[in-house]
A and B are shown apart, each in its own frame.
Chain A
Amino acid sequence: MDVLQAGIGEFSVTDPDDLRAFMRTEKRRAMVDKVMPEAEAVRRYVKDGDYVSFDFSSFTRGPASLVREIIRQRRRNLWFAAKFTLMETTLLAAGGCLRGVDVGFLGLGHLIGKWVEEGRIKVTEWTNGTLTLRHLAGAMGVPFLPTRNLLATDTLTYSGAKVVQDPFTGKPIALIPAVNPGVGLVHVHQCDIYGNARCFGPGVSPLETAMASKRTIISTEEIITTDDIRKEPSKTTIPYYMVDAVVSAPFGCLPGGTQGLYEMDTAHFLEFMGASRDEQKMAAYLDKYVYSVASHEEFLEKRVGMARLLDLKRQATIKEGYH
Protein backbone atom coordinates (compact mmCIF):
# COMPACT_ATOMS: atom_id res chain seq x y z
CA MET A 1 0.00 0.00 0.00
CA ASP A 2 1.40 3.36 -0.97
CA VAL A 3 1.26 6.06 1.67
CA LEU A 4 -0.42 9.02 -0.03
CA GLN A 5 -0.08 11.40 2.91
CA ALA A 6 1.38 11.24 6.39
CA GLY A 7 0.40 13.49 9.30
CA ILE A 8 3.24 15.16 11.18
CA GLY A 9 1.68 15.26 14.65
CA GLU A 10 3.57 13.80 17.61
CA PHE A 11 2.40 10.43 18.90
CA SER A 12 3.96 7.18 20.02
CA VAL A 13 3.53 3.69 18.64
CA THR A 14 3.10 0.61 20.78
CA ASP A 15 4.27 -2.65 19.24
CA PRO A 16 1.31 -5.05 19.56
CA ASP A 17 3.61 -7.86 20.69
CA ASP A 18 5.07 -5.69 23.43
CA LEU A 19 1.51 -4.94 24.47
CA ARG A 20 0.64 -8.64 24.54
CA ALA A 21 3.75 -9.38 26.60
CA PHE A 22 2.69 -6.67 29.05
CA MET A 23 -0.84 -8.06 29.26
CA ARG A 24 0.57 -11.57 29.77
CA THR A 25 2.82 -10.71 32.68
CA GLU A 26 1.44 -7.55 34.26
CA LYS A 27 -2.36 -7.92 34.27
CA ARG A 28 -3.66 -10.18 37.01
CA ARG A 29 -6.12 -12.94 36.15
CA ALA A 30 -6.68 -13.84 39.78
CA MET A 31 -9.72 -12.31 41.44
CA VAL A 32 -7.92 -10.23 44.04
CA ASP A 33 -9.25 -7.35 46.07
CA LYS A 34 -8.14 -4.19 44.25
CA VAL A 35 -9.85 -1.63 46.47
CA MET A 36 -7.37 1.00 47.61
CA PRO A 37 -7.35 4.66 48.62
CA GLU A 38 -7.34 7.11 45.74
CA ALA A 39 -3.90 8.44 46.66
CA GLU A 40 -2.42 4.95 46.55
CA ALA A 41 -4.03 4.11 43.18
CA VAL A 42 -2.57 7.26 41.63
CA ARG A 43 0.80 6.74 43.33
CA ARG A 44 1.03 3.18 41.99
CA TYR A 45 -0.42 3.51 38.53
CA VAL A 46 0.08 7.04 37.22
CA LYS A 47 3.70 7.70 36.28
CA ASP A 48 5.42 10.86 35.14
CA GLY A 49 5.37 10.95 31.34
CA ASP A 50 2.29 8.73 31.07
CA TYR A 51 -0.37 9.02 28.40
CA VAL A 52 -3.61 9.48 30.37
CA SER A 53 -7.06 8.72 29.05
CA PHE A 54 -10.29 9.87 30.69
CA ASP A 55 -13.68 8.42 29.87
CA PHE A 56 -16.78 10.43 29.03
CA SER A 57 -17.31 14.03 29.96
CA SER A 58 -16.37 16.74 32.44
CA PHE A 59 -20.08 17.14 33.10
CA THR A 60 -21.23 13.56 33.17
CA ARG A 61 -19.65 10.45 34.71
CA GLY A 62 -16.09 11.76 34.37
CA PRO A 63 -13.40 10.66 36.87
CA ALA A 64 -12.85 14.16 38.24
CA SER A 65 -11.58 13.18 41.70
CA LEU A 66 -8.83 11.05 40.13
CA VAL A 67 -7.72 14.02 38.02
CA ARG A 68 -7.56 16.20 41.16
CA GLU A 69 -5.45 13.53 42.89
CA ILE A 70 -3.04 13.42 39.93
CA ILE A 71 -2.64 17.19 40.23
CA ARG A 72 -2.26 16.93 44.01
CA GLN A 73 0.56 14.41 43.56
CA ARG A 74 2.16 16.72 41.00
CA ARG A 75 2.69 14.23 38.23
CA ARG A 76 4.71 15.71 35.37
CA ASN A 77 4.93 15.50 31.56
CA LEU A 78 1.60 13.78 31.06
CA TRP A 79 -0.06 13.55 27.65
CA PHE A 80 -3.85 13.71 27.84
CA ALA A 81 -6.50 12.25 25.52
CA ALA A 82 -9.07 15.05 25.26
CA LYS A 83 -11.76 13.15 23.42
CA PHE A 84 -14.82 14.73 24.99
CA THR A 85 -13.48 16.76 27.89
CA LEU A 86 -13.81 20.43 28.73
CA MET A 87 -12.04 21.24 32.03
CA GLU A 88 -9.31 18.65 32.51
CA THR A 89 -6.68 20.04 30.15
CA THR A 90 -6.85 23.43 31.87
CA LEU A 91 -6.66 21.88 35.34
CA LEU A 92 -3.76 19.56 34.52
CA ALA A 93 -1.85 22.26 32.67
CA ALA A 94 -2.39 24.77 35.47
CA GLY A 95 -1.05 22.16 37.87
CA GLY A 96 2.10 21.81 35.78
CA CYS A 97 1.25 18.15 35.04
CA LEU A 98 0.76 18.38 31.31
CA ARG A 99 3.15 18.21 28.38
CA GLY A 100 0.69 17.69 25.59
CA VAL A 101 -2.84 16.98 24.48
CA ASP A 102 -4.41 14.80 21.84
CA VAL A 103 -7.26 16.97 20.55
CA GLY A 104 -10.33 15.97 20.25
CA PHE A 105 -11.67 19.00 21.89
CA LEU A 106 -8.91 21.02 23.53
CA GLY A 107 -11.16 22.33 26.29
CA LEU A 108 -13.10 25.38 27.39
CA GLY A 109 -11.75 28.62 28.77
CA HIS A 110 -9.21 31.15 27.62
CA LEU A 111 -6.11 29.80 29.35
CA ILE A 112 -5.66 26.45 27.64
CA GLY A 113 -5.81 28.12 24.22
CA LYS A 114 -3.30 30.74 25.36
CA TRP A 115 -0.90 28.08 26.61
CA VAL A 116 -1.04 26.34 23.24
CA GLU A 117 -0.46 29.68 21.48
CA GLU A 118 2.61 30.21 23.65
CA GLY A 119 3.92 26.73 22.92
CA ARG A 120 3.78 25.74 26.58
CA ILE A 121 1.40 22.88 25.82
CA LYS A 122 1.91 20.72 22.74
CA VAL A 123 -1.01 19.42 20.74
CA THR A 124 -1.59 16.74 18.18
CA GLU A 125 -4.77 17.14 16.16
CA TRP A 126 -7.36 14.41 15.96
CA THR A 127 -11.11 14.50 16.25
CA ASN A 128 -13.34 13.13 18.97
CA GLY A 129 -14.20 10.22 16.70
CA THR A 130 -10.70 9.35 15.50
CA LEU A 131 -9.22 9.71 19.00
CA THR A 132 -11.85 7.28 20.24
CA LEU A 133 -11.05 5.01 17.29
CA ARG A 134 -7.41 5.06 18.41
CA HIS A 135 -8.63 3.60 21.70
CA LEU A 136 -10.65 0.93 19.88
CA ALA A 137 -7.56 -0.06 17.87
CA GLY A 138 -5.58 -0.13 21.11
CA ALA A 139 -8.31 -2.24 22.72
CA MET A 140 -8.18 -4.70 19.81
CA GLY A 141 -4.42 -5.13 19.90
CA VAL A 142 -4.06 -4.01 16.28
CA PRO A 143 -1.71 -1.22 15.17
CA PHE A 144 -4.34 0.87 13.38
CA LEU A 145 -7.89 1.03 12.13
CA PRO A 146 -9.14 2.54 8.87
CA THR A 147 -11.68 5.35 8.71
CA ARG A 148 -13.09 7.72 6.12
CA ASN A 149 -12.98 10.57 8.63
CA LEU A 150 -10.16 13.12 8.82
CA LEU A 151 -9.45 12.99 5.05
CA ALA A 152 -8.62 16.16 3.10
CA THR A 153 -8.18 18.38 6.15
CA ASP A 154 -5.44 20.25 7.99
CA THR A 155 -6.59 18.25 11.01
CA LEU A 156 -5.11 15.20 9.29
CA THR A 157 -1.90 17.06 8.39
CA TYR A 158 -1.22 17.77 12.07
CA SER A 159 -2.38 14.36 13.29
CA GLY A 160 -0.45 11.10 13.30
CA ALA A 161 -2.74 9.48 10.72
CA LYS A 162 -1.63 8.25 7.31
CA VAL A 163 -3.64 8.16 4.11
CA VAL A 164 -3.23 5.11 1.89
CA GLN A 165 -4.94 3.73 -1.15
CA ASP A 166 -7.34 1.07 0.09
CA PRO A 167 -6.14 -2.19 -1.55
CA PHE A 168 -9.73 -3.41 -1.90
CA THR A 169 -11.62 -0.45 -3.37
CA GLY A 170 -8.74 1.69 -4.57
CA LYS A 171 -10.12 4.72 -2.72
CA PRO A 172 -8.02 6.82 -0.34
CA ILE A 173 -8.57 5.87 3.28
CA ALA A 174 -7.16 7.21 6.56
CA LEU A 175 -5.32 4.84 8.90
CA ILE A 176 -5.58 5.85 12.54
CA PRO A 177 -2.81 4.52 14.80
CA ALA A 178 -3.74 2.67 17.98
CA VAL A 179 -3.19 4.27 21.35
CA ASN A 180 -2.38 2.25 24.45
CA PRO A 181 -2.53 4.76 27.30
CA GLY A 182 -0.22 4.27 30.26
CA VAL A 183 -3.29 4.71 32.41
CA GLY A 184 -7.02 4.89 31.77
CA LEU A 185 -9.38 6.56 34.24
CA VAL A 186 -13.02 5.47 34.25
CA HIS A 187 -15.73 6.48 36.69
CA VAL A 188 -18.59 4.01 37.10
CA HIS A 189 -21.89 3.70 38.93
CA GLN A 190 -21.07 0.34 40.53
CA CYS A 191 -18.10 -1.99 40.82
CA ASP A 192 -17.12 -5.03 42.90
CA ILE A 193 -13.83 -5.29 44.80
CA TYR A 194 -12.16 -7.07 41.87
CA GLY A 195 -13.03 -4.47 39.26
CA ASN A 196 -16.13 -5.86 37.54
CA ALA A 197 -17.65 -2.52 36.70
CA ARG A 198 -21.01 -1.20 35.58
CA CYS A 199 -21.75 2.16 34.06
CA PHE A 200 -25.18 3.15 32.91
CA GLY A 201 -26.31 5.58 30.28
CA PRO A 202 -24.48 6.67 27.15
CA GLY A 203 -20.72 7.01 27.25
CA VAL A 204 -17.78 7.80 25.05
CA SER A 205 -15.69 4.63 25.39
CA PRO A 206 -15.49 3.08 28.87
CA LEU A 207 -14.73 -0.43 27.64
CA GLU A 208 -12.31 0.64 24.89
CA THR A 209 -10.47 2.89 27.36
CA ALA A 210 -10.16 0.12 29.96
CA MET A 211 -9.01 -2.44 27.37
CA ALA A 212 -6.56 -0.17 25.56
CA SER A 213 -4.88 1.15 28.70
CA LYS A 214 -1.97 -0.66 30.29
CA ARG A 215 -3.31 0.29 33.70
CA THR A 216 -6.93 1.09 34.45
CA ILE A 217 -8.12 2.86 37.58
CA ILE A 218 -11.84 2.63 38.27
CA SER A 219 -13.45 5.15 40.58
CA THR A 220 -16.91 4.08 41.63
CA GLU A 221 -19.96 5.60 43.25
CA GLU A 222 -20.70 2.33 45.01
CA ILE A 223 -18.97 -0.98 45.71
CA ILE A 224 -21.34 -3.91 45.24
CA THR A 225 -20.91 -7.64 45.78
CA THR A 226 -19.69 -10.06 43.14
CA ASP A 227 -22.89 -11.98 43.80
CA ASP A 228 -24.82 -8.94 42.55
CA ILE A 229 -22.58 -8.80 39.48
CA ARG A 230 -23.19 -12.49 38.74
CA LYS A 231 -26.97 -12.09 39.00
CA GLU A 232 -27.06 -9.63 36.09
CA PRO A 233 -23.95 -10.19 33.98
CA SER A 234 -25.35 -8.25 31.03
CA LYS A 235 -24.93 -5.12 33.13
CA THR A 236 -21.16 -5.58 33.41
CA THR A 237 -19.42 -2.95 31.28
CA ILE A 238 -15.80 -3.80 32.12
CA PRO A 239 -14.54 -7.22 33.29
CA TYR A 240 -12.28 -7.27 36.35
CA TYR A 241 -9.09 -8.44 34.64
CA MET A 242 -8.80 -5.17 32.70
CA VAL A 243 -8.81 -3.25 35.99
CA ASP A 244 -5.83 -2.56 38.25
CA ALA A 245 -7.32 -0.45 41.01
CA VAL A 246 -10.78 0.19 42.42
CA VAL A 247 -11.29 3.46 44.25
CA SER A 248 -14.43 4.19 46.21
CA ALA A 249 -15.37 7.74 45.20
CA PRO A 250 -18.97 8.74 45.88
CA PHE A 251 -19.67 12.05 44.13
CA GLY A 252 -16.38 11.40 42.31
CA CYS A 253 -17.48 13.32 39.20
CA LEU A 254 -18.10 16.63 40.91
CA PRO A 255 -18.42 19.29 39.62
CA GLY A 256 -19.90 17.00 36.96
CA GLY A 257 -22.82 14.71 37.69
CA THR A 258 -23.41 10.98 37.63
CA GLN A 259 -26.64 10.05 35.90
CA GLY A 260 -29.46 9.03 38.21
CA LEU A 261 -27.48 9.94 41.34
CA TYR A 262 -26.60 13.65 41.36
CA GLU A 263 -26.65 16.53 38.90
CA MET A 264 -23.70 18.60 37.72
CA ASP A 265 -22.86 21.60 39.90
CA THR A 266 -23.51 24.52 37.57
CA ALA A 267 -22.38 27.13 40.11
CA HIS A 268 -19.02 25.40 40.49
CA PHE A 269 -18.65 25.14 36.73
CA LEU A 270 -19.28 28.88 36.35
CA GLU A 271 -16.60 29.46 38.99
CA PHE A 272 -14.21 27.33 36.93
CA MET A 273 -15.09 29.26 33.77
CA GLY A 274 -14.32 32.52 35.57
CA ALA A 275 -10.99 31.15 36.78
CA SER A 276 -10.11 29.72 33.36
CA ARG A 277 -9.57 33.25 32.02
CA ASP A 278 -6.73 34.23 34.28
CA GLU A 279 -3.65 32.39 35.55
CA GLN A 280 -3.80 33.82 39.06
CA LYS A 281 -7.46 32.99 39.41
CA MET A 282 -6.81 29.48 38.14
CA ALA A 283 -3.97 29.05 40.63
CA ALA A 284 -6.35 30.15 43.38
CA TYR A 285 -8.99 27.72 42.08
CA LEU A 286 -6.51 24.83 42.20
CA ASP A 287 -5.41 25.84 45.65
CA LYS A 288 -8.98 25.94 46.88
CA TYR A 289 -10.21 22.69 45.35
CA VAL A 290 -7.06 20.56 45.04
CA TYR A 291 -3.99 21.51 47.05
CA SER A 292 -5.65 22.74 50.24
CA VAL A 293 -7.54 19.49 50.73
CA ALA A 294 -5.83 16.16 51.33
CA SER A 295 -8.33 13.88 49.63
CA HIS A 296 -11.62 13.58 47.79
CA GLU A 297 -13.37 13.05 51.13
CA GLU A 298 -11.95 16.30 52.45
CA PHE A 299 -12.94 18.05 49.20
CA LEU A 300 -16.52 16.88 49.71
CA GLU A 301 -16.57 17.85 53.35
CA LYS A 302 -14.80 21.21 53.23
CA ARG A 303 -15.34 22.51 49.68
CA VAL A 304 -18.76 21.17 48.74
CA GLY A 305 -20.57 20.49 52.00
CA MET A 306 -23.56 18.42 52.93
CA ALA A 307 -26.16 21.01 51.91
CA ARG A 308 -24.80 21.22 48.35
CA LEU A 309 -24.42 17.44 48.06
CA LEU A 310 -28.00 16.90 49.13
CA ASP A 311 -29.20 19.59 46.76
CA LEU A 312 -27.36 18.04 43.81
CA LYS A 313 -28.80 14.65 44.77
CA ARG A 314 -32.27 16.16 44.98
CA GLN A 315 -31.85 17.72 41.51
CA ALA A 316 -31.24 14.28 39.98
CA THR A 317 -34.93 13.61 39.48
CA ILE A 318 -34.44 11.46 36.37
CA LYS A 319 -33.58 7.97 37.56
CA GLU A 320 -34.94 5.73 34.84
CA GLY A 321 -32.37 3.83 32.82
CA TYR A 322 -29.54 4.40 35.27
CA HIS A 323 -29.80 1.34 37.53
Chain B
Amino acid sequence: MNGREFSESEFMICQCARLIQDGTLVFIGYGMPQIAAILAQRLHAPRMVQVYEFGAVGALPETPFVRFTMGGPRNCYRSLAWTSMNTIFAQAQLGMVDMGVLGATQIDRFGNLNSTMLGSDYHRPGKRFPGSGGANEVLTQCWQTVIVIKHERRRFVEKVDFVTSPGYLDGTPGARERAGLPRDTGPWRVATSKALYGFDDQTKQMILLGVLRGLSVDDALKEMEFTPLIAPQLEELSPPTPEELHILREEIDPDRAIIGAAGD
Protein backbone atom coordinates (compact mmCIF):
# COMPACT_ATOMS: atom_id res chain seq x y z
CA MET B 1 0.00 0.00 0.00
CA ASN B 2 1.40 3.37 -0.95
CA GLY B 3 -1.16 5.34 1.12
CA ARG B 4 -2.31 7.25 -1.95
CA GLU B 5 -5.62 7.66 -3.71
CA PHE B 6 -4.24 5.98 -6.84
CA SER B 7 -2.17 2.93 -7.69
CA GLU B 8 1.38 2.85 -9.02
CA SER B 9 0.05 1.33 -12.22
CA GLU B 10 -2.44 4.17 -12.63
CA PHE B 11 0.32 6.74 -12.33
CA MET B 12 2.53 4.86 -14.83
CA ILE B 13 -0.34 4.61 -17.29
CA CYS B 14 -1.25 8.30 -16.92
CA GLN B 15 2.36 9.41 -17.38
CA CYS B 16 2.64 7.28 -20.48
CA ALA B 17 -0.67 8.54 -21.89
CA ARG B 18 0.42 12.16 -21.41
CA LEU B 19 3.48 11.50 -23.60
CA ILE B 20 1.38 10.32 -26.54
CA GLN B 21 0.78 13.14 -29.02
CA ASP B 22 -2.31 13.69 -31.10
CA GLY B 23 -2.06 13.08 -34.82
CA THR B 24 0.79 10.59 -34.59
CA LEU B 25 1.21 6.89 -35.42
CA VAL B 26 1.97 5.00 -32.24
CA PHE B 27 3.11 1.36 -31.96
CA ILE B 28 1.35 -0.12 -28.94
CA GLY B 29 2.89 -2.95 -26.88
CA TYR B 30 1.09 -5.55 -24.77
CA GLY B 31 -0.66 -4.74 -21.48
CA MET B 32 -0.23 -1.34 -19.85
CA PRO B 33 0.61 0.44 -23.13
CA GLN B 34 -2.77 -0.68 -24.52
CA ILE B 35 -4.54 1.05 -21.63
CA ALA B 36 -2.40 4.18 -21.89
CA ALA B 37 -3.24 4.44 -25.58
CA ILE B 38 -6.98 4.25 -24.96
CA LEU B 39 -6.68 6.86 -22.20
CA ALA B 40 -4.73 9.23 -24.46
CA GLN B 41 -7.29 8.71 -27.21
CA ARG B 42 -10.15 9.61 -24.84
CA LEU B 43 -8.38 12.76 -23.61
CA HIS B 44 -5.89 14.81 -25.59
CA ALA B 45 -5.09 12.56 -28.56
CA PRO B 46 -8.34 11.60 -30.33
CA ARG B 47 -6.59 11.51 -33.71
CA MET B 48 -3.66 9.39 -32.55
CA VAL B 49 -3.47 6.23 -34.69
CA GLN B 50 -2.79 3.02 -32.78
CA VAL B 51 -0.69 0.45 -34.61
CA TYR B 52 -0.39 -3.16 -33.43
CA GLU B 53 2.16 -5.80 -34.38
CA PHE B 54 -0.47 -8.21 -35.70
CA GLY B 55 -1.43 -5.64 -38.31
CA ALA B 56 -4.34 -3.59 -36.95
CA VAL B 57 -4.08 0.11 -37.80
CA GLY B 58 -6.12 2.88 -36.23
CA ALA B 59 -8.19 0.79 -33.82
CA LEU B 60 -10.71 2.50 -31.56
CA PRO B 61 -10.84 -0.14 -28.82
CA GLU B 62 -14.16 -0.80 -27.15
CA THR B 63 -14.28 -0.45 -23.41
CA PRO B 64 -14.30 -2.06 -20.90
CA PHE B 65 -10.93 -3.25 -22.09
CA VAL B 66 -10.59 -7.02 -22.62
CA ARG B 67 -7.39 -8.09 -20.97
CA PHE B 68 -4.99 -10.75 -22.29
CA THR B 69 -5.99 -10.40 -25.93
CA MET B 70 -4.74 -7.83 -28.41
CA GLY B 71 -6.19 -9.12 -31.67
CA GLY B 72 -9.80 -9.69 -30.62
CA PRO B 73 -12.71 -7.73 -32.09
CA ARG B 74 -13.18 -5.35 -29.16
CA ASN B 75 -9.55 -4.26 -29.24
CA CYS B 76 -9.54 -3.95 -33.05
CA TYR B 77 -12.89 -2.19 -33.26
CA ARG B 78 -13.38 0.33 -36.07
CA SER B 79 -9.81 0.07 -37.33
CA LEU B 80 -8.75 1.85 -40.49
CA ALA B 81 -6.96 -1.22 -41.84
CA TRP B 82 -6.30 -4.82 -40.89
CA THR B 83 -2.98 -5.89 -42.33
CA SER B 84 -0.38 -8.44 -41.22
CA MET B 85 2.78 -8.57 -39.14
CA ASN B 86 5.19 -8.33 -42.07
CA THR B 87 3.26 -5.35 -43.46
CA ILE B 88 3.17 -3.41 -40.23
CA PHE B 89 6.84 -3.99 -39.37
CA ALA B 90 7.74 -2.94 -42.93
CA GLN B 91 5.86 0.31 -42.38
CA ALA B 92 7.77 0.85 -39.15
CA GLN B 93 11.03 0.12 -40.99
CA LEU B 94 10.04 2.70 -43.63
CA GLY B 95 10.00 5.33 -40.89
CA MET B 96 6.23 5.80 -40.71
CA VAL B 97 5.76 5.12 -37.00
CA ASP B 98 6.39 8.11 -34.75
CA MET B 99 6.36 6.51 -31.36
CA GLY B 100 6.51 3.11 -29.72
CA VAL B 101 5.29 2.25 -26.23
CA LEU B 102 6.82 -0.77 -24.46
CA GLY B 103 7.21 -2.47 -21.12
CA ALA B 104 10.41 -4.27 -20.03
CA THR B 105 11.90 -6.35 -17.23
CA GLN B 106 15.24 -4.53 -16.94
CA ILE B 107 16.65 -1.27 -18.28
CA ASP B 108 20.17 0.15 -18.07
CA ARG B 109 21.71 3.63 -18.11
CA PHE B 110 21.66 3.75 -21.92
CA GLY B 111 18.11 2.48 -22.32
CA ASN B 112 19.00 -1.05 -23.42
CA LEU B 113 16.11 -3.35 -22.55
CA ASN B 114 15.96 -6.91 -21.27
CA SER B 115 12.83 -8.99 -21.47
CA THR B 116 14.56 -12.34 -22.08
CA MET B 117 16.37 -13.69 -19.00
CA LEU B 118 18.13 -13.03 -15.70
CA GLY B 119 21.56 -14.41 -14.87
CA SER B 120 25.06 -14.39 -16.31
CA ASP B 121 24.88 -17.61 -18.35
CA TYR B 122 22.42 -17.57 -21.23
CA HIS B 123 22.38 -21.36 -21.37
CA ARG B 124 21.54 -21.65 -17.66
CA PRO B 125 19.29 -18.69 -17.00
CA GLY B 126 18.37 -17.91 -13.41
CA LYS B 127 14.98 -16.83 -14.65
CA ARG B 128 13.64 -17.08 -18.16
CA PHE B 129 11.07 -14.57 -19.49
CA PRO B 130 9.08 -14.57 -22.72
CA GLY B 131 11.69 -12.70 -24.82
CA SER B 132 11.35 -9.97 -27.40
CA GLY B 133 7.90 -10.42 -28.79
CA GLY B 134 7.78 -7.37 -31.04
CA ALA B 135 9.74 -5.13 -28.65
CA ASN B 136 13.01 -5.36 -30.59
CA GLU B 137 11.32 -4.09 -33.75
CA VAL B 138 9.58 -1.27 -31.90
CA LEU B 139 12.71 0.02 -30.18
CA THR B 140 14.69 -0.39 -33.41
CA GLN B 141 12.29 1.31 -35.82
CA CYS B 142 10.07 3.87 -34.09
CA TRP B 143 11.35 7.46 -34.09
CA GLN B 144 10.79 7.73 -30.36
CA THR B 145 10.12 4.98 -27.85
CA VAL B 146 8.54 5.32 -24.42
CA ILE B 147 9.32 2.59 -21.89
CA VAL B 148 6.81 2.03 -19.09
CA ILE B 149 8.44 0.26 -16.15
CA LYS B 150 7.89 -0.13 -12.44
CA HIS B 151 10.38 1.86 -10.40
CA GLU B 152 12.40 -0.89 -8.71
CA ARG B 153 16.10 -1.22 -8.06
CA ARG B 154 16.22 -4.69 -9.61
CA ARG B 155 14.87 -3.23 -12.85
CA PHE B 156 17.15 -0.16 -13.13
CA VAL B 157 20.48 -1.94 -13.47
CA GLU B 158 24.00 -0.88 -14.35
CA LYS B 159 24.10 -3.48 -17.10
CA VAL B 160 21.16 -5.53 -18.33
CA ASP B 161 21.69 -9.30 -18.18
CA PHE B 162 20.65 -9.62 -21.81
CA VAL B 163 20.10 -6.96 -24.48
CA THR B 164 16.77 -8.00 -25.96
CA SER B 165 16.07 -4.64 -27.60
CA PRO B 166 18.65 -1.97 -28.42
CA GLY B 167 18.89 1.31 -26.56
CA TYR B 168 21.91 3.56 -27.05
CA LEU B 169 24.16 0.46 -26.68
CA ASP B 170 27.41 1.53 -24.97
CA GLY B 171 26.47 5.20 -25.16
CA THR B 172 29.30 6.21 -27.49
CA PRO B 173 28.29 8.82 -30.08
CA GLY B 174 26.70 7.21 -33.14
CA ALA B 175 26.71 3.71 -31.61
CA ARG B 176 23.28 2.84 -32.98
CA GLU B 177 24.08 4.08 -36.47
CA ARG B 178 27.43 2.24 -36.52
CA ALA B 179 25.59 -0.97 -35.73
CA GLY B 180 23.27 -0.39 -38.68
CA LEU B 181 20.24 0.71 -36.66
CA PRO B 182 18.08 3.45 -38.19
CA ARG B 183 19.44 6.96 -37.74
CA ASP B 184 17.95 9.25 -35.08
CA THR B 185 15.96 6.56 -33.31
CA GLY B 186 16.11 5.14 -29.79
CA PRO B 187 14.53 5.29 -26.37
CA TRP B 188 13.01 8.70 -25.63
CA ARG B 189 11.26 8.59 -22.27
CA VAL B 190 11.10 6.17 -19.33
CA ALA B 191 7.86 6.54 -17.39
CA THR B 192 7.96 4.85 -13.97
CA SER B 193 5.85 4.60 -10.86
CA LYS B 194 7.87 7.44 -9.28
CA ALA B 195 9.60 9.48 -11.96
CA LEU B 196 10.13 10.43 -15.57
CA TYR B 197 13.45 10.09 -17.41
CA GLY B 198 14.82 11.08 -20.79
CA PHE B 199 18.22 10.56 -22.41
CA ASP B 200 20.94 13.18 -22.62
CA ASP B 201 21.56 14.30 -26.21
CA GLN B 202 25.34 14.11 -25.94
CA THR B 203 26.14 11.25 -23.59
CA LYS B 204 22.95 9.20 -24.22
CA GLN B 205 22.78 8.62 -20.47
CA MET B 206 19.44 8.40 -18.73
CA ILE B 207 18.52 11.75 -17.20
CA LEU B 208 15.98 12.38 -14.47
CA LEU B 209 13.41 14.88 -15.76
CA GLY B 210 10.87 14.87 -12.96
CA VAL B 211 9.47 13.14 -9.91
CA LEU B 212 5.93 12.54 -8.73
CA ARG B 213 4.59 15.37 -6.56
CA GLY B 214 5.46 14.66 -2.94
CA LEU B 215 8.53 12.56 -3.72
CA SER B 216 12.15 13.67 -3.53
CA VAL B 217 14.95 13.06 -6.02
CA ASP B 218 16.41 10.67 -3.51
CA ASP B 219 13.19 8.67 -3.44
CA ALA B 220 13.78 7.99 -7.12
CA LEU B 221 17.56 7.49 -7.02
CA LYS B 222 17.63 5.10 -4.10
CA GLU B 223 15.60 2.63 -6.14
CA MET B 224 18.19 2.51 -8.93
CA GLU B 225 21.43 0.56 -9.22
CA PHE B 226 23.05 3.35 -11.27
CA THR B 227 22.90 7.12 -10.81
CA PRO B 228 21.33 8.92 -13.73
CA LEU B 229 22.04 12.48 -14.79
CA ILE B 230 19.70 15.00 -13.23
CA ALA B 231 18.07 17.75 -15.26
CA PRO B 232 18.87 21.28 -14.02
CA GLN B 233 15.17 22.08 -13.81
CA LEU B 234 13.18 19.17 -12.45
CA GLU B 235 9.53 18.81 -13.32
CA GLU B 236 6.97 18.09 -10.61
CA LEU B 237 4.85 15.30 -12.05
CA SER B 238 1.14 15.60 -11.31
CA PRO B 239 -0.60 12.58 -9.88
CA PRO B 240 -3.45 11.13 -11.94
CA THR B 241 -6.24 13.68 -12.31
CA PRO B 242 -9.82 12.89 -11.32
CA GLU B 243 -10.70 12.82 -15.02
CA GLU B 244 -7.92 10.37 -15.84
CA LEU B 245 -8.90 8.15 -12.91
CA HIS B 246 -12.55 8.28 -13.87
CA ILE B 247 -11.83 7.08 -17.41
CA LEU B 248 -9.45 4.37 -16.18
CA ARG B 249 -11.74 3.07 -13.44
CA GLU B 250 -15.20 3.57 -14.88
CA GLU B 251 -14.64 3.08 -18.60
CA ILE B 252 -11.46 1.18 -19.43
CA ASP B 253 -10.75 -1.24 -16.58
CA PRO B 254 -13.65 -1.44 -14.10
CA ASP B 255 -12.39 -4.83 -12.85
CA ARG B 256 -9.04 -3.14 -12.10
CA ALA B 257 -7.23 -6.10 -13.63
CA ILE B 258 -4.38 -3.94 -14.88
CA ILE B 259 -4.73 -0.59 -13.13
CA GLY B 260 -4.78 -2.17 -9.67
CA ALA B 261 -6.57 -0.89 -6.57
CA ALA B 262 -5.95 2.58 -5.12
CA GLY B 263 -2.95 2.45 -2.85
CA ASP B 264 -1.33 -0.53 -4.61
Which A residues have a C-beta under 8 Å from some C-beta of B? 56-57, 59-61, 83-84, 86, 103-108, 113-114, 116-117, 119, 123, 125-130, 132-133, 136, 147-155, 158, 163, 166, 171-174, 201-208, 257, 259-260, 263-264, 266, 269, 316, 318, 321-322
Among B39-47, B71-79, B217-225, B227-235, the stretch that binds chain A is B71-79
B163 CB within 8 Å of chain A:
yes
Is A318 within 8 A of B77, CB to CB?
yes
A202–B82 touching, CB < 8 Å: yes
- Bound-state CA distance A106–B116 (Å) is 9
| B70, B76, B137, B169: most-surrounded residue (chain A CB, <10 A) | B137
Which residue among B62, B76, B82, B134 has the maximum number of chain A CB atoms within 10 Å of its CB?
B134
Among A107, A119, A266, the residue within 8 A (CB) of B124 is A119
Closest to B113 in A: A153
A127 neighbours in B (Cβ, 8 Å)? 131-137
The total number of A-B Cβ pairs within 8 Å is: 194
CA of A34 to CA of B175, assembled, Å: 54
Knowing A154-B164, A202-B82, A269-B68 are in contact, say whether A148-B52 is a contact too (CB < 8 A). Answer: no
A142: min CB distance to chain B, Å: 14
Min C-beta distance of A318 to chain B, whole Å? 4
Check A56–B68 contact: CB distance below 8 A: no
Q: A203-B84, A208-B86 are in contact. Are A155 and B136 (CB under 8 A)?
A: yes
Report Cα–Cα, A260/B165, bound state, in Å.
Answer: 35
- Known contacts A149-B89, A155-B116, A201-B71: does B181 contact A107 (CB below 8 Å)? no
Given A116-B125, A202-B52 in contact, is the A128-B163 Cβ separation under 8 Å? no
Contact of B132 among A117, A126, A316, A322 (CB under 8 A): A126
In Å, the complex CA distance between A201 and B78 comes to 11
Q: Which residues of B contact A207 (CB under 8 A)?
A: 84
Q: List 22 A-B contacts (CB under 8 A).
A: A57-B54, A57-B69, A104-B133, A107-B130, A116-B125, A127-B135, A128-B53, A128-B137, A148-B140, A149-B140, A152-B180, A153-B164, A154-B116, A155-B116, A155-B136, A155-B163, A202-B71, A202-B79, A203-B54, A207-B84, A260-B73, A263-B73
A113 to B73, CA, bound (A): 30
Which 5 pairs from chain A and chain B are nearest by CB?
A172-B180, A152-B179, A59-B69, A202-B82, A318-B73
Residues of A close to B83: CB separation below 8 A: 202
Known: A152-B181, A266-B66. 8 other contacts (CB 8 A): A105-B132, A116-B128, A125-B131, A153-B163, A154-B116, A202-B56, A202-B71, A204-B84
Q: Mark B159-203, 1 if CB is under 8 A from A, else 0.
A: 000111110010000011011111000000000000000000000
Give the nearest-CB partner of B71 in chain A: A60
